Amino acid sequence: FFQVKSEGPKLVPFFKATCVYFVLWLPTSSPSWFSALIKCLPIFCLWVFLLAHGINFLVSHRSASRILAGLIFSAVGDAFLIWQEQGYFIHGLLMFAITHILYSSAFGMKPLDLKAGLLMGLVCSSCYAFLYSYLSGPFTYLVAVYIALIGFMGWRAVAGMQLCNDLWTWTKLSACIGAMLFMVSDLTIALNKFCFPVPYSRFIIMATYYAAQMLIALSAVESRDEEDFRKRS
Q: Which residues contact 209 (CB under 8 A, 6 or more apart)?
A: 181, 182, 185
pLDDT of residue 230: 41
How do the domains of the chain map onto residue ranges? 5-229
Q: Which amino acid is at 158?
A: V
pLDDT at residue 75, as a whole number: 98
Question: What CA–CA distance (Å, rounded) separates 178 from 218?
Answer: 9
Question: Residue 221's pLDDT is what?
Answer: 87
* Closest to 151 measured CA to CA, from 175, 191, 182, 174: 182
Consecutive sets of 10 residues in the chain, 233 residues long: mean pLDDT of each? Answer: 71 97 95 97 97 92 96 98 96 98 96 94 98 97 98 96 70 94 98 97 98 96 52 43
